[in-house]
Every structure is written in C-alpha cells, then in structure tokens.
Structure 1
C-alpha cells in the first residue's frame, strides 16, 4: 500500500523522470507541508539522481537562516505571502546544487488564520531551469489540516513538474 495517494506518487514519478531526462537537480523549500513534498519525491526509486535537498523552514528564523529570506520581506508581507514564497524558492536554488525548486508556505489550520489570511491560504513558487519564477496562490478553504497539506503537495508537485519541463 503506498504511503501517499496514487496521484501524488504519479506526479512525483513524472517530476523525477523529466528532471532526470533533462539532467536537472531539484530542491524543495517547505513550510506548512513539513517535508511532504520532499517525502513524495524520495518515495520514487532513482530520486537520489535528481533531488538535491529539501528545506523544512517552518519558523521565520529558519526561512531567514536556511533560505536567506529577508527579515524585511517577512516583516512587511508575512510568512504566508507571494514575496516570501518567491524568496523561499529562489533561496532554495541559491543554497543548493539545484537549478529548479518549489516552495510552499501557508496556513493549514485549524488555528492561525485571519480575515486577510484565512486557514487554507497557501502560496507557492517555482523556479525553472530558465530562472523564471512562477507564483501561485491557492485558497483551499478550511477543509482540515491533512486535506490542506495534501492539496498543497499536489499543487507543489504540479508546479515542480512544469518547472522541470520548461
């Protein structure tokens, strides 16, 4: 029985296959998913040829120390924001041997949300081999912590697949 849903494993397998074919190394910078994106990638045999590293940066301090996210960005926009997601993805490339990276930062709940940033709000960014950064904002709603995290993994892997394909 697979650890993760079949569709997640299939997307992770596609990421590994395309990255391997293109000779690309990838990295993941994760907050609310706590390493699940990296876990999905490492569930695939042969992922060591492609996955350089995963950064689990749950705290703001970790985002600053491990990924080089500016304290100013965090103070001005917050951890759950487009600028932070972009900085996390870019930092993952700069601080690894990867040329492609994805980042995830959001509010999985059940608490922690606000009117501006409700539970289920997740920001994603991906850096492609071309250096272009793509941002995506999802509002999954208050569907439960586990469901938000799984949907976030699906979205992050989809963005990573696009990033290794361009």
Structure 2
C-alpha cells in the first residue's frame, strides 16, 4: 500500500451546513424546508409513481417504482394476543380459564373456584383479609395455608400464590366471580 503524500486531516475541511446555530427544544418542531408539496387530488398521499426515482448520486444507483407498504405492526400479531381486559380481575380470570381449558381441568377448577368463593365468604376469613393491622405477608401466608388445606387444583393454587406475591389479594373474590362469569359464557349456561 502506498503512503499518502499529504495528511488526511489537511485535505478534509469541515462543511458548515447551517450558518446560524440551531436551537433545539423537545417540544418545538425543527424548521425544516418541506420537500414534498401537501397532498392534493392531483397528487395523492401515497408515494407511488410510474417514473423511476433515483435514491442517491454518490453510491450505486437503485431505481424504485414504488415504496413498499408495510402492514401495521399489530396486524402481524396473532388475534389471540390482542385481547384487552377491562379490569385486572378479568385478566387473571381469563388466564386461569385459558390454562385450565388447555390442560383439561376446567370443570375441576370451576368446582374449586366455587369452594374457594364459599370459603372467602366466611366471616372469620373476611375479617382476616380486611384487617388493616395485618400485613400483606401474613394475609398471604393465611391464603396459601387456606389453599393447601382446601386441596385446590394446582392452577388455582398457583394463581393464588401469584396474587399473594403481587399483593393482589384484595381482588381475589372479583377474580373468582369473573371466572364464573366467563365459564358460564363459555359453556353457555347463562
């Protein structure tokens, strides 16, 4: 390789594109010249033309007849992942229902949900869960113990355990009611 006769830094001179300094502000748009005229009936918003356009003059030339149109990212997702739940309780109930339906334990879990709902209506358990002087850890331990003694299905037990860890014990009854509602809709009993 031949050495350069002059230094690179002396041959390159910085170009000042803007003669005045720019003031950047996150809420102010940059004052850039418009390269495209606004859309009109003669010139629609879509950027397809019959005449090829060249992209660059300094590199290899590529002719484009039209810009590709990509679908919206959410249209690429499977439809099952697009469910939006109105409340956290609905989401937890739907997750439990989906899991138990895929494992074939839906009816068993429904029986356990009914049993747990009846237990949660017990005045002593209500007093325990609503006690403001009792911490979340103690309430969680009591709920886990209740689930163990009740010999509930592992999916219901795991849901309760997760709700204890996420400090969502206050909505357990609502989750169980939502499970019942969605179960009834699914089976067609109501």
TM-score normalized with structure 1 length: 0.30
TM-score normalized with structure 2 length: 0.28
Which of the pair has the greater relative contact order for Cα pairs under 8 Å at 6+ separation? 1
Q: Give the structure with the larger helix fraction.
A: 2
